[in-house]
Structure 1
Amino acid sequence: MKKSISVVIPCKNDGALLAEALESLAEQTVKADEIIVVNNASADDTKTIGEKFGAQVVNEDRIGVLRATATGFDLAKSDIILRLDADVVLKPDFIERVHQIWTNAAESSGKKVVGVTGSARFMLPGRKADLYSRLYLGAYRAAVRSTLGHQPLFGTNFSIPRCWWEQVRESIDFNNSLVHDDMHLSFAVRPDETVWLQKDLTLDTDPRPLHGIRQFINRFRRGFYTIFLNWKNSPPHRRLAERRSR
């Protein structure tokens, strides 16, 4: 039986980019069952744009992607919650592919799949797009996977079952706005669970993470902060040993 899908998009002052994302969602061969835009204290026309495309728009005035993401997840009613950023553009068969991948994941053997994470391609000219995308995402996956014992969720493009979110949400601290929400949530994956990496589930995304060395350093600093924070409750030696025992 095909599962229903809710799309959750946190957005803060990204109205123009959000319009492109919602337009690509409107052109899907298989439509999402609901689209939730979380307006995170935006000063632009995010709310108006979301409503124009028929999305459910909810306000989250506490600034922070983690809080906005949690608000959207709590409102989602579908079996699967698909988390996207506001600055992405989806291929027309994206939602259709997410349906098929979750069907494959449900039929797989081994650890229980509680997350499906895809990839992204920076919208850059020529070969830069593939090169920079591979380097950026490769560094993220390699660094975080070694501490998690499984693939990390990638905030621009991942999905989780709503029932799993309901099971783990009470164990997650939403009050720290300095953490990366995707990495923080990845630490909630339990020893008998895993994340399915689908590298060819790709969407296009704005290249602004690459703009300026200061922003690049800040993103990695927040990443290491998120890891060290979670190590307090889930140190790597204990986490990896628990996963091997299962």
Structure 2
Amino acid sequence: MTRVPRIGLGTMGLETPTEASAVTTALEMGYRHIDTAQIYENEAVVGDAVAAADVPRGEVFLATKVWADSLGYDDAIRTTRESLDRLGTDYVDVLYVHRPIETYDPPETLRAFDELVDDGLARGVGVSNFTVAELDEALDLLDAPLVAHQTEYHPLFQRPALLEHADEHGYDVVAYSPLAGGRVREVEEVVDVAEKHGTTPESVSIAWLLAKGVCVIPKASSGTHLRANLHAADLDLDDEDVAAIDGVEREVELFPE
């Protein structure tokens, strides 16, 4: 089954060719996972930036998401084809159900996603912002393997039950907003671990997620931040570090439904 690269680049908010040039920079720096979505309205500039990188398409793990208003069977197939046209590619490596709301109809939506995999337009199926019950239902209905569940996950918003479910069923968890929108700089436990290792709270937050087997897609635009996020994979946290961040009691959900 397809496995998701551990560190990728989130592209929400990269709306112009200049902003999306961060995608080209990231790929040439060593990133191999680029994440976008229909609702971001940037698939065209992201696709152009992927094509501009001196990296073969086959080495890039490219993901997009079908928005909640297009999850009916016909709309899911039609808008996915439109996404591929905008991205300038024949396929995406994973196609996500962005949120299980509005037009999401599990049997019809997931039948469309299975067909898109069968037709080679998507290499794998992903879901995003699902509960454990919704994940179980999707697993029952899908013929194609579930590749990934993308969810908000950071020291201020932890859902260990989702990690346990993924481990049990063999798919990857992909954390969006792994830096809590910059709020990790204000989390005492994260700051203490950063000071211990002589690094930044942002690097610690990424390393903590990686230590838990979670893939991450932080957004970044400058070369400095892109490089720092990528190199966070080299930071080894010990069990005490991980436990300290696991024990954070504050909770902040950045993107509630």
TM over 0.5: no
What band does the TM-score fall into relative to the shorter chain?
under 0.3
TM-score by length of 1: 0.28
